[in-house]
Amino acid sequence: MSIDSSSHCVVIGAGIVGVSIGIWLARAGMKVTLVDRQAPGEGTSHGNAGVLAACSMVPVTGPGLARKAPRMLLNKDFPLFLRWSYLPRLAPWLWRYMSFANDVDTRRISEKLAFIVGDCVEQHQDLAGNTEADSWLKPSDYQFAYRTMEDYEADAYVWSLREQHGFSPQILRGAAVREKEPVLGADIDVLAVVGNHGHISSPGLYVKALGRVFEGLGGTITRATAEDFKLVDGRVTAVDTDQGPIDCDNAVIATGVWSKHLCERFALKIPLETERGYHVIFKNPSAMVSVPTMIASGKFVATPMHDGMRCAGIVELGGLEAGPSREPIELLMRQVKRTFPDLQYADTVEWLGHRPAPADSLPFIGQIGSTGVYTAFGHHHIGLTGGAKTGRLVADLICNEQPNEELHAFRPDRFS
């Protein structure tokens, strides 16, 4: 990539996507300013399972979800929660979300998401390699723990889609499971182990390190809240913030679920909701899993990290304003106790954050018309996984201003 060094891009959002865009643009010679009300890595890019989940191309909205959802909500041991007072506001998005819960759409969405996540480890290595951030990047397997072989076989539809994209598991059973992961309880009898994955041993510190890499390339980080855009003849000339305007030639909206408000300036219809996600870090644990492990029965991921074992994966639909709920954390703690019955730890750290959930499970990546304003948000469960590649793709769009045919499905105006 190459660009006129006098060009200036303002990237709104200092999470993994925004910082990645900033690094790739700075490497191409562009002047770049990251704008965020928080420092890099303090939002959703901090609070996640930390997995570089290359095989996570299958959306939640698989066939039959609409039929199963009511039972899930009524089951106190299923990790799906709804703040019922929020349902009237949620209903239009939820209706559209459920409309994609069929085989044809699931296969189409999986194909598109595979393009974003399939080479995620290599993309992060290209982003962080030979920098201080590289120490947080750990190539590894990713494994799925099941109680029985029948439980594994019940996921055959999802595994068939993963295998179509080159991710076939090695199956371990019984004593082999105990040998590989002694911390797992006796009721876990099957491990489906997938290679060519990785994890970040501290997502927040990783993004902070990338922020310093960006500054070392000449980039600027400004603590401010973006509020609007100035346009002249339909082309962006500045980003208005609560600290004053910042002149620019291009801008990128990469603020996760908060991006929807900024897109309203361009009359874009963005069917996006927040999926409230929780995690618990178990400090100084007596044992940890050796690699990221999805516990199928509890629908959470346990990941070994530098400050303990992080368990993440609860889903709650309830908007941005409400504070944390106790029920999701209590369920996660019960599931952890059942999965790791002998686990001892010194303390726990709880966290709530907001995943941006598009109705069709595809992120919004591309230019808004010919405004010079680009979108890079809406990654749902794959923000960290797909953040490095999304940054590279958007930087390439800005430098070349040529549409990428592979990005057509992600265009920001697809619902307008």
pLDDT at 237: 98
pLDDT at 71: 83
Tell me the fold of 57-104+137-198+272-358. D-Amino Acid Oxidase; Chain A, domain 2 (3.30.9)
pLDDT at 407: 96
pTM over 0.85? The answer is yes
pLDDT at 400: 87
Sorted by sequence, the CB contacts under 8 Å of residue 11 that are 6+ apart come out as 18, 21, 22, 25, 32, 33, 34, 35, 251, 252, 254
Q: Which of 278, 370, 285 is nearest to 331 (CA)?
A: 278
Q: Give span(s): CATH 3.30.9.10, the chain.
A: 57-104+137-198+272-358
Most confident region among 71-75, 323-327, 366-370 by mean pLDDT: 366-370
Percent of the chain with pLDDT over 90: 89
pLDDT at 89: 95
Query: Has residue 3 got a pLDDT over 60?
Result: no
Tell me the fold of 8-45+205-271+361-410. FAD/NAD(P)-binding domain (3.50.50)
CA torsion 251→257→263→264, rounded to 10°?
-150
Mean pLDDT estimate for the chain: 95
Sorted by sequence, the CB contacts under 8 Å of residue 131 that are 6+ apart come out as 209, 210, 213
Query: Has residue 2 got a pLDDT over 60?
Result: no
* pLDDT per position as a tens digit, 370-395: 999 999 999 999 999 999 999 999 99
Query: Has residue 341 got a pLDDT over 90?
Result: yes
Q: Give span(s): CATH 3.50.50.60, the chain.
A: 8-45+205-271+361-410
pLDDT at 405: 85
Query: Has residue 105 got a pLDDT over 90?
Result: yes
* pLDDT per position as a tens digit, 205-254: 999 999 999 999 999 999 999 999 999 999 999 999 999 999 999 999 99
pLDDT at 310: 97
Q: How far apart are CA 172 and CA 342, in angstroms?
A: 21
pLDDT at 1: 43
* pLDDT per position as a tens digit, 272-307: 999 999 999 999 999 999 999 999 999 999 999 999
User: Which of the four pLDDT bands, split at 50, 70 and 90, describes residue 76?
Assistant: confident
Tokens of 330: 């209590």
Query: Has residue 401 got a pLDDT over 70?
Result: no
User: Which of the four pLDDT bands, split at 50, 70 and 90, describes residue 117?
Assistant: very high
pLDDT at 318: 93
Given a contact cutoff of 8 angstroms between Cβ atoms, the answer to whether 213 and 334 are in contact is: no
